[in-house]
Amino acid sequence: MAATGSEKQGAKAYYVSTPIYYVNDAPHLGHAYTTVAGDVLTRWHRQRGEKVWYLTGTDEHGQKIMRTAEANGVTPQEWCDKLVEEAWKPLWEHLNIANDDFIRTTEKRHTDRVQEFVQDLYDKGEIYKGGYEGPYCVGCEEYKLPGDLIEAEDGTKLCPIHKKPVEILKEENYFFKLSEYGPKLLDFYAANPDFIQPESARNEVVNFVKQGLQDLSISRSTFDWGVPVPWDEKHVIYVWIDALLNYATAVGYGSNQAKFDETFPANVHLVGKDILRFHAIIWPAMLMAQGLPVPGKVAANGWLMVGGEKMSKSNLTGIKPQDLTSHFGVDAYRWYFLRAIAFGQDGSFSWEDFTARYTSELANDYGNLASRVAAMVGKYFEGALPSATAAGEAEQAVQDGLAKAVAEADRKIGEELDFQNGILSVFEFVKQVNGYITEQEPWKVAKDDSPEGRARLATILYTAAESLRAVAVLLNPVMPETSQKLWDSLGAEAGLGALADQKVQEAGEWGKLPAGATVTKGAVLFPRLEEPKKA
């Protein structure tokens, strides 16, 4: 995506990352949920005129990948290459994700820097050799504390996330002195209360650290699919240490200092709540040990649930995003999950709920409003947008409603990552405009052919069209294709320029859409749904 003219060379980028996703299988709705959230957030900041960097990618080392590849009769690298190129990258393109980079942990630009980072910590005395024995979940690629496990009916100890038996591993490893960073982390959390969101996630992390941290095993010696430990190639670097470093290696750590200084650290790390401790404890501790700045915020989203279970391939509840986009469309898909589920909380996907919201809010409220206004400008003014010369209290109420919607959406989406209420504020304004048209009854006003009647009709339709201009700007980060169609229908580009150049924080400035703009009734923004089918 092209940079806007207001971006300054050398200014710190607004840097957002998703987790890098484990490529043991194709992506499902849960992966797409986080990635779409990051895309909306970064598109929003781009449309503020800010310099932005959006990173996503794939995590390709570790025992789980190795076993999955073996089960499929290919090498781990072949498995990763196939999944990334045939499933992950095409899906992000399909969902209109405007990421600036896609990092793979098998890339040399990453693996070389990982070895350098770990070598530096070793040279500083932050890493030592030791032994460890304990329960290990291959699915999480993590040693578990005994108190974290759940028990099956037969007494077998299970991972609480994957509901599968853990393995008892005993190996000689290298350890990072994580235990020494507990007090530093607690001081940091206290000084930066918004570092971990939501608050429930913050409380969980703080309580965990207060109980005392154990040193972290940062190598594995029982398998070889990973980045070799530079001073001891009998070991590979623990996949999570390898993975977390992507946020630094992808933006120039150790290779492009100017880019690194302009980008790092991330303003927001978006993560799933099951990997919160890695990002809110281990990652900042690693950065502190290396003397690097800590991220601005770690925001943990909840789980998407199906039948009361976390959506995942291992639980056989993974639903392909394409199952939904083929029925509802890509823009509606992007809108639905952020509108229906409060970011940071668990939420259940429902085909019926998606259908109901699509019909009510998208088709009936938003799409119908756009169609009605375009049709009336065409019918009563031959498609040329009239000027507003008879504005009164009703029009002022619409202007006030828009100013409120802009302020709320900008704060909720751009700052608080409250996508649900940010989107809701825009749709409340859409409802207000629909109500305004119902009350003003332009079809009746049109019967008055006097100059006063024509002026009143012109004012009503200009007010409605100008409202839609602002809605197109506000919803562009969420539904870019639909917003562009509306922008084109309003003839806005001729007078205002490209939609992407319109600043969201200025969308409430009234009177931007020039009189005389050619308004056309294009294709229906949200077509009637076909007969529902099951995902």
256-299 pLDDT, tens digit per residue, is: 999 999 999 999 999 999 999 999 999 999 999 999 999 999 99
Choose, from 94, 163, 184, 313, the residue flagged as catalytic.
Answer: 313
Of 51, 61, 80, 137, which is the active-site residue? Answer: 137
Looking at residue 320, what DSSP letter applies?
-
Tokens describing residue 314 = 């291992």
- Over 56-99, what HEC string results? EEEECCCHHHHHHHHHCCCCHHHHHHHHHHHHHHHHHHHCCCCC
User: Which tokens is 397 given?
Assistant: 């109420």
Q: Which of 64, 269, 310, 485 is catalytic?
A: 310
128-144 in b/e form (b: 16+ CB < 10 A) is eeeebeebbbbbbbbbb
Helix (H) or strand (E) holding 107: none
What's residue 282's pLDDT? Answer: 98
- 418's enclosing H/E stretch is none
Residue-level pLDDT at 9: 59
Instruction: Give me the pLDDT at residue 8, please.
Output: 53
E runs forming strands in 23-177: 52-59, 101-104, 127-137, 142-143, 150-151, 157-158, 167-176
Compute the mean pLDDT over every residue in the chain, rounded to the nearest whole number: 92
Taking the C-alpha atoms of residue 429 and residue 533, their distance in angstroms, rounded to an integer, is 32
Question: Which two tokens mark 135?
Answer: 């329960």
The pLDDT, as a whole number, for residue 6 is: 41
530 vs 335: CA distance, rounded Å: 19
- Annotated catalytic residue, options 12, 94, 162, 297: 162
CA 48 to chain centre: 17
Q: Is the pLDDT of residue 304 over 90?
A: no
Catalytic site includes residue 45? no
Q: What pLDDT is stored for residue 291 in this prediction?
A: 97
Please check the confidence at residue 201 and state whether its pLDDT lies above 70: yes
* DSSP-assigned letter for residue 445: H
Choosing from 140, 144, 269, 279, which is the catalytic residue?
140
Are 519 and 377 in contact by the 8 Å Cβ rule? The answer is: yes
Per-residue confidence (pLDDT) for residue 305, from 0 to 100: 74
The amino acid present at 256, given as its one-letter code, is: N
Model confidence at 395: pLDDT above 50? yes
Q: What confidence tier does 159 reach under pLDDT thresholds 50, 70, 90?
A: confident
User: Is residue 31 annotated as part of the catalytic site, yes or no?
Assistant: yes
Q: Is 177 a catalytic residue?
A: no
Candidate ranges 170-179, 216-225, 399-408; pick with highest mean pLDDT? 399-408
Q: How many residues does the chain have?
A: 535
Mean pLDDT of 336-360: 93
Residue 161 in contact with residue 314, Cβ under 8 Å?
no
Q: Which of 28, 235, 269, 279 is catalytic?
A: 28
Q: Give the residue-averaged pLDDT of 18-35.
A: 91
Query: Which residue in the list 64, 110, 159, 269 is annotated as catalytic?
Result: 159
Amino acid letter, residue 439: E
Answer yes or no: is pLDDT of 211 > 80.
Answer: yes
Q: What is the mean pLDDT of residues 89-118?
A: 98
- Best CA proximity match to 342, nearest among 417, 411, 426: 417
Q: Is the pLDDT of residue 234 over 80?
A: yes
Helix residue spans in 254-362 (DSSP H): 257-263, 276-277, 283-290, 321-328, 330-340, 351-357
Q: How far apart are CA 242 and CA 230, in angstroms?
A: 13
**Residue 354 burial by Cβ neighbours in a 10 Å radius (0-12, 13-18, 19+):** buried
Tell me the average pLDDT across 365-393. 96
Q: DSSP of 367-417, one letter per residue? A: IHHHHHHHHHHHHHHTTBPPP-----HHHHHHHHHHHHHHHHHIIIIIIT-
- Mean pLDDT score, 307-329: 71
Residue at 74: amino acid letter: V
State the Cα–Cα distance between residues 75 and 119, nearest whole angstrom.
28
The three-state secondary structure class of 326 is helix
Q: Give Dmax (Cα) for the chain.
A: 91
Check residue 44 and give its pLDDT. Answer: 98
Q: What gap in Å lies between CA 351 and CA 532, rounded to an integer?
A: 8
Catalytic annotation, pick one of 31, 45, 327, 412: 31
Residue 162 falls in the annotated catalytic set: yes
Read off the pLDDT of each residue in 69-87 and give the average, rounded to a whole number.
95
DSSP result, 446-496? TT--SHHHHHHHHHHHHHHHHHHHHHHHHHTTT-HHHHHHHHHHTTHHHHH
Identify which has the larger pLDDT, 223 or 519: 519
Residue 284 phi/psi, 5-degree rounding, is -65, -35
Question: Rounded mean pLDDT of 458-464?
Answer: 98
d(CA 96, CA 73): 33
Indicate if the pLDDT at residue 505 is higher than 80: yes
- CA-to-CA distance for 517 and 266, rounded, in angstroms? 42
Give the list of residues 6+ apart from residue 285 with CB closer than 8 angstroms, or none. Answer: 176, 178, 181, 184, 185
Over 216-267, what HEC string results?
EECEECCCCCCCEECCEEEEEECHHHHHHCHHHHCCCCCCCHHHHHHHCCCC
Phi, psi for residue 22 in degrees, rounded to 5: -75, 130
Catalytic residue list contains 313: yes
**Percent share of the chain, pLDDT over 90:** 79
- Evaluate whether 474 touches 502 at the Cβ level (below 8 Å): no
Residue 45, amino acid: H
pLDDT band for 2, please (50, 70, 90 cuts): very low
Its pTM stands at 0.90
The answer to whether the CB of 409 falls within 8 A of the CB of 528 is no
Does the pLDDT of residue 5 top 70, yes or no?
A: no
Look at residue 316 in the predicted model and tell me its pLDDT: 39
Q: What's the pLDDT at 318?
A: 59
